[in-house]
């Protein structure tokens, strides 16, 4: 047994654990079992802002303060539904860490508390050592706190380029989601240990670089790339230890941060698949997209012990979903011992760009879900098929026909999920098209699709309010994608 503070215990790894109630805002940051070298906390650091963005923030350990990466490109200071402050990085913000922080790549530990609303296509950089403005950026072969999707893989956490999927076992726990979590690393000369909450895996040792001063939060200092390609995450706390912690202390720190921020151990997962309608476009930023909505602190759309991941990509057709399903280290391979649920909406690009009929599209959907050894069902997932939202009048014949096909008894037969079949009760339909708000339909007809209250003006993509209603169900929560989880 591992003990967290007082009164809270859980087995590691694998046992079912109690959900932790997120604490209300408190008067002081949580005491850690080991004193931090540097610690930044949106709720307790002394912060200055300009137009809602961070200009500077103090280090609670008194060593290395933060400053905006450039005029107007600090992260936004925000407050969540539980009254807790956090900093939002949307791919175009970063913070400089003062040169007082000095780290060795093989003798440091770092932990962040945060949310990843939707993983970028490749790297997601959270914290790197070295600093461009200070002239101390060196090639550390990537950052101590980062995650990476390789060829549309699941998007595992990584430290100095050593990805969690290279571990001998346990990589399925190392995929960050939109829910609150602790992501950490503890490096040594003999190897590195990656943490996600109370879980951990061991990977190879980092490239050896010593005496690296300064750091950056939100991008990789050695090779930052262009604005818009930096980190995408909400940051609630970041703690660094230099020299690093031993494995026991590192685990204790991760668990202490879990307790301080009310983070439950992950037991189940919901993966959202689809095209730009699922991904979110324009005003529906990553932070306002499907997985982020479902896991908003203070909301109750998904229980706290669920991991929620948005894998929707603009332009996708069923053939693209098949590629993601079958790629190496795919999200489909990251099965947890609890419930593994995927929900999807797909079809707009299949009908328009792909020129497919409703019947052709239906056949492709069935094959995606039910194919020997490779189907979503064969891989161990239960499925929630979302009835497609309305589009322009020219698209409605196919949309209407596909909705009917999904609701027909034959769909369960074709996916071997009917009574007495191999995947009985593993497929259900989410009636997204029947969602109502204020007594009116939102996604049912082409007239609904033309309503810019809920759509973005193109009769295809929901705007911010529509995106929220589409996954929560609005006034008809029984039609929300996570209803009953």
Residue 294 above 60 pLDDT?
yes
CATH 3.40.50.1110 positions along the chain are 268-479
Residues in the chain: 485
For the stretch 60-114, pLDDT in tens is: 999 999 999 999 999 999 999 999 999 999 999 999 999 999 999 999 999 999 9
What's the pLDDT at 14? Answer: 37
CATH number of 268-479: 3.40.50.1110
What's the pLDDT at 26? Answer: 67
Percent of the chain with pLDDT over 70: 94
Q: If we measure between CA atoms, which residue out of 16, 100, 93 comes closest to residue 53? A: 93
Q: For the beta carbon of residue 406, count every other beta carbon within 10 angstroms.
A: 21
**Per-residue confidence band for 264, with pLDDT thresholds at 50, 70 and 90:** very high
CATH architecture of 2-15+33-260: Sandwich (2.60)
DSSP state of 482: T
Residue 2 above 60 pLDDT?
no
Read off the pLDDT of each residue in 312-336 and give the average, rounded to a whole number: 98
Percent of the chain with pLDDT over 90: 93
Read off the pLDDT of each residue in 149-174 and give the average, rounded to a whole number: 98
Confirm if 152 and 327 have CB atoms less than 8 A apart.
Answer: yes
Average pLDDT score, the chain: 95
For the stretch 347-371, pLDDT in tens is: 999 999 999 999 999 999 999 999 9
CATH 2.60.120.200 positions along the chain are 2-15+33-260
Read off the pLDDT of each residue in 210-235 and give the average, rounded to a whole number: 98
Strands 8-10 and 2-4: antiparallel
What's the pLDDT at 251? Answer: 98
What's the pLDDT at 12? Answer: 40
Give the C-alpha distances (Å, rounded to integers) separating 11 from 1, 2, 139, 186, 255: 5, 6, 39, 21, 12
- Contacts of residues 396-401 at CB distance under 8 Å and 24 or more positions apart, as own/partner, are 396/445, 396/446, 397/358, 398/347, 398/351, 398/357, 398/358, 398/361, 399/347, 399/351, 401/358, 401/359
From CA 217, how far away is CA 119, in angstroms rounded?
17
**Per-residue confidence band for 28, with pLDDT thresholds at 50, 70 and 90:** confident
Q: Which residues contact 478 (CB under 8 A, 6 or more apart)?
A: 431
Read off the pLDDT of each residue in 179-202 and give the average, rounded to a whole number: 98
Q: Which residues contact 212 (CB under 8 A, 6 or more apart)?
A: 102, 103, 104, 105, 129, 130, 136, 138, 140
Residue predicted with more confidence, 14 or 75: 75
Read off the pLDDT of each residue in 417-438 and give the average, rounded to a whole number: 98
Q: If we measure between CA atoms, which residue out of 127, 124, 237, 145 comes closest to residue 195? A: 145
What's the pLDDT at 15? Answer: 40
**Per-residue confidence band for 195, with pLDDT thresholds at 50, 70 and 90:** very high
């Amino acid at each position: 047994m591992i003990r967290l503070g007082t009164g809270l215990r859980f087995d590691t790894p694998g046992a079912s654990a109690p959900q932790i109630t997120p604490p209300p805002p408190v008067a002081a940051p949580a005491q850690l079992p080991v004193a931090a070298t540097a610690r930044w906390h949106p709720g307790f650091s002394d912060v200055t802002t300009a137009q809602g963005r961070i200009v500077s923030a103090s280090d609670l350990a008194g060593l290395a303060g933060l400053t905006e990466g450039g005029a107007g490109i600090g992260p936004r200071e925000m407050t969540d539904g539980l009254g807790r402050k956090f900093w939002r990085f949307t791919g175009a913000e970063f913070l400089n860490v003062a040169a007082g922080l000095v780290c060795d790549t093989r003798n440091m530990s770092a932990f962040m508390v945060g949310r990843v609303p939707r993983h970028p296509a490749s790297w997601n950089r959270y914290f790197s050592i070295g600093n461009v403005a200070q002239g101390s950026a060196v090639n550390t072969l990537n950052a101590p706190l980062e995650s990476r999707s390789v060829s549309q893989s699941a998007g595992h956490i990584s430290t100095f380029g050593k990805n969690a999927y290279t571990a001998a076992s346990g990589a399925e726990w190392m995929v960050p989601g939109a829910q609150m979590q602790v992501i950490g690393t503890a490096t040594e000369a003999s190897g590195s240990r990656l943490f996600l909450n109370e879980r951990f895996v061991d990977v190879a040792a980092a490239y050896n670089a010593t005496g690296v001063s300064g750091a950056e939060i939100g991008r990789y200092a050695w090779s930052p790339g262009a604005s818009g390609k930096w980190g995408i995450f909400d940051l609630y706390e970041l703690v660094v230890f230099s020299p690093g912690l031993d494995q026991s202390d590192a685990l204790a720190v991760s668990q202490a941060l879990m307790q301080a921020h009310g983070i439950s151990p992950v037991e189940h997962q919901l993966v959202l698949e689809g095209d730009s309608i699922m991904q979110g476009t324009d005003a529906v930023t990553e932070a306002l997209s499907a997985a982020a909505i479902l896991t908003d602190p203070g909301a109750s759309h998904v229980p706290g012990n669920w991991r929620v991941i948005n894998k929707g990509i603009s332009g996708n057709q069923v053939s693209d979903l098949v590629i993601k399903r079958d790629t190496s280290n795919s999200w489909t391979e990251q099965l947890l011992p609890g419930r593994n649920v995927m929900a999807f909406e797909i079809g707009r690009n299949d009908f328009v760009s792909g020129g497919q009929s409703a019947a052709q599209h239906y056949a492709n959907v069935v094959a995606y879900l039910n194919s020997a050894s490779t189907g979503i069902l064969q891989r161990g997932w239960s499925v929630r098929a979302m009835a497609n939202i309305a589009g322009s009048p020219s698209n409605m014949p196919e949309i209407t026909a596909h909705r009917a096909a999904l609701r027909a008894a034959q769909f369960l037969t074709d996916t071997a999920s009917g009574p007495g079949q191999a995947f009985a009760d593993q497929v259900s339909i989410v009636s997204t098209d029947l969602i109502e708000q204020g007594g009116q339909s939102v996604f049912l007809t082409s007239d609904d699709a033309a309503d810019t209250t809920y759509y973005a003006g193109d009769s295809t993509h929901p705007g911010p309010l529509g995106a929220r209603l589409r996954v929560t169900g609005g006034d008809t929560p029984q039609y929300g994608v996570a209803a009953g989880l």
